Structure 1
């Protein structure tokens, strides 16, 4: 098996790309797992060294390599810190895919992957049904009964806390299926196609609707292609490359029919993976050019609002409060969007914006990382909440569903749910409008 893994590493991971890493160490203070462990095995340059060793056939036991790659958040904070421009994230995902393809997956894990990545996240109707079940659990009294009987005590503490911070799921009839929304201004400045996502359009449907309302107010006609699906990020991050490619092709085909000026996202993780479709499909001659055309149009909603002078044309006001912002790692490190969310927040009257120390460092969510690596995730989150406390903010803003839940979890862990709130930027702006 080791020989087969080595062969795949040689064929699929560029030696030149690995050698681009100069081992300078600029990535170390940017890497959350290195900061927490002070262990080179859990640093970007350490992981690149392990990848090179596997490629050279110098490692016989693959478990340490697999563990090191799994502990990595995939936040890609090392990339903007790297003076050589090493594409660490691409190598990480390809390495995970290779190891997954050669691994004897336990039956339970195989069943879980099939039920989630290969079924739930590839079928919007199943995602709708799963969300509706969660809504029934919340509204029927089952949630109150479960808490009263302490049924949730059978789950780990961080999962019990996560259950308490899940948003209230709107009834299915209130989750609209409209596919076109006309500008409120009467004068269309641009036509945009919105990527609605799977979690964003079910668990966070109200945030999607808020985003549409903001875009309409800014002068955008909004089109929502009905054949789009999950972005494939969870597949790509988990080594399920074939599943990610399948989702990419579905979405490219769906948005080609929209004839929009831009494709808008409001979830940093989704946006970054959509932004990388050109890399994902670069070896597919039929799809590579189509993928490049797709990724060229990807824009975060905060960027388009700034480009359309939203804050100067729309009056925004809230009750007096201190607000801080937690970057979505992928929005900042892959899409390079960090100024526009801050500018939008600062444009709200009565808001005192306080920059959080190390706001660009990961909160520990990282997709499903807080479920697969709970100890490290909670260690990173607790460090993050110390930075939040220093700002004295009563509102934490972010731009990604996983980050939002993680920050809500951090507030819950500190027992500050009655004093501090976490909110998506789109919801904050709509509230201010």
Structure 2
């Protein structure tokens, strides 16, 4: 990284990072035990929230060069934001991290292959629903044609960088093109309508995880919700915001606000903690744009995880049952640390008859997924996942429940790495609850 780029990054830090927020860090260390990378690096200070804030402040103050080592530590952060709930000063570490990454992303001269990959993912794929659909069609063909079995047997994927070969095995069964192209726009409540909700279907959630979206909406219907699903919605922008593509995240946020704001819904409901964490902070993302500030605030104020709505509507008082099994819950970091939802999923799981719920140690500790982190930072991600699986094995869980697609794939990867596919599964909370409504499932 040459001096000109370093100078531009330092100036960008000065302009975009909230210096008062940097100064709010009292260096008390309450964040240290909550930080996965701090624990996995033998308590290396620079790999902690406190240490990374010191690096950012040092760059702004001109006492630290914004070199590759600084960038490495910022990239090594999972962005799980477990440090925020325990911070006595209320430092919004996640906001600082996103601004710092945005500056580096925009100022640094990336290698050609990295630029191409980032362009494909952030600009050419996720912002375009039709392209997400094409990817869905390809994955359906890949699974149904026999090509997947051929590729897996040939070990062709093992020549690719990272853990692509392992991640490929976690892809769920892909729904048909017919099902994908017949997504509902409105679903009535079963019985008396108690709430009108607008459902945020997302991009991957409504393609790769379409059955989970369907299960979520069925649960909401049974709880007494009229559901509107606006067609104009799209990707939430979370990957862009976390990956240093702030302007694209803003564009996606504005499109979603426009799609939902005229619906007069009681809540905007979703089932993906990673998406929800950005939706509830659209007001922060658009804070500097006068035209959008209040509209974003009104939008963010209505966002809720589906589990909160089910608990509010006494869904846990229904007759829910499953075959005997031991289940445990893995928190979605963003659902817990940003959206503040931790008790509702546990209330619902505890209401299921026939199962034994066991709380694992450090259920709120990140699983190591963190968007594309398990690809870009494979070594650290796998260390964190192995640590998580130790906790899962300790409670002898047969079913791992979570509430975010990235966490779900990561926990499936953990099961594969353990060779435990015959005795353990990972499932989204919505899918398990729908099984419990019907008294079905696996034992």
With structure 2 as the length reference, what TM-score do the two structures score?
0.96
Question: What is the RMSD of the two structures over their aligned residues, measured on CA atoms?
Answer: 1.0
How far residue 61 of structure 1 moved from its aligned partner, in angstroms, is: 4.7
1:93 to 98, 103, 116: 98
CA contact (8 A) 1:363 1:407 kept: yes
Q: How many matched pairs?
A: 431
2:134 to 112, 129, 136: 129
User: What's 1:173 paired with?
Assistant: 178
User: What's 1:119 paired with?
Assistant: 124
User: What's 1:410 paired with?
Assistant: 414
Please say if 1:364 is aligned against 2:368.
yes
How far residue 152 of structure 1 moved from its aligned partner, in angstroms, is: 2.4
User: What's 2:153 paired with?
Assistant: 148
Superposition pairs of residues 182-221 of structure 1, within 5 angstroms: 182-185=188-191, 187-221=192-226
C-alpha distance in structure 1 between counterparts of 2:356 and 2:153, whole Å: 40
C-alpha distance in structure 2 between counterparts of 1:350 and 1:107, whole Å: 55
CA contact (8 A) 1:3 1:57 kept: no
How far residue 303 of structure 1 moved from its aligned partner, in angstroms, is: 0.1
Change (3 A) 1:325 1:103: same
Change (3 A) 1:143 1:311: same
1:15 to 14, 19, 22: 19
C-alpha distance in structure 1 between counterparts of 2:121 and 2:168, whole Å: 19
C-alpha distance in structure 2 between counterparts of 1:375 and 1:252, whole Å: 37
| Deviation sequence 1:307-329 (CA, Å, 0-9, x none) | 000121x3111001111000000
Superposition pairs of residues 5-404 of structure 1, within 5 angstroms: 5-37=9-41, 38-156=43-161, 158-175=163-180, 176-185=182-191, 187-312=192-317, 314-404=318-408
C-alpha distance in structure 1 between counterparts of 2:38 and 2:9, whole Å: 26
C-alpha distance in structure 2 between counterparts of 1:68 and 1:364, whole Å: 16
Larger CA deviation: 82-91 vs 60-69: 60-69
Larger CA deviation: 279-288 vs 161-170: 161-170
Secondary structure of the residue aligned to 1:169 is coil
C-alpha distance in structure 2 between counterparts of 1:157 and 1:79, whole Å: 30
How far residue 351 of structure 1 moved from its aligned partner, in angstroms, is: 1.2
| Deviation sequence 1:71-130 (CA, Å, 0-9, x none) | 000000000111111000000000000111110011111111111110110001100110
With structure 1 as the length reference, what TM-score do the two structures score?
0.98
Change (3 A) 1:4 1:157: closer
Larger CA deviation: 154-163 vs 46-55: 154-163
C-alpha distance in structure 1 between counterparts of 2:307 and 2:8, whole Å: 45
C-alpha distance in structure 2 between counterparts of 1:161 and 1:25, whole Å: 36
C-alpha distance in structure 2 between counterparts of 1:373 and 1:270, whole Å: 21
- Structure 2: stretches of 5+ with no match in the other structure: 438-443
C-alpha distance in structure 1 between counterparts of 2:91 and 2:356, whole Å: 37
| Deviation sequence 1:290-344 (CA, Å, 0-9, x none) | 00000000000000000000121x3111001111000000000001100000000
Change (3 A) 1:61 1:263: closer
C-alpha distance in structure 1 between counterparts of 2:148 and 2:8, whole Å: 49
Secondary structure of the residue aligned to 1:287 is helix
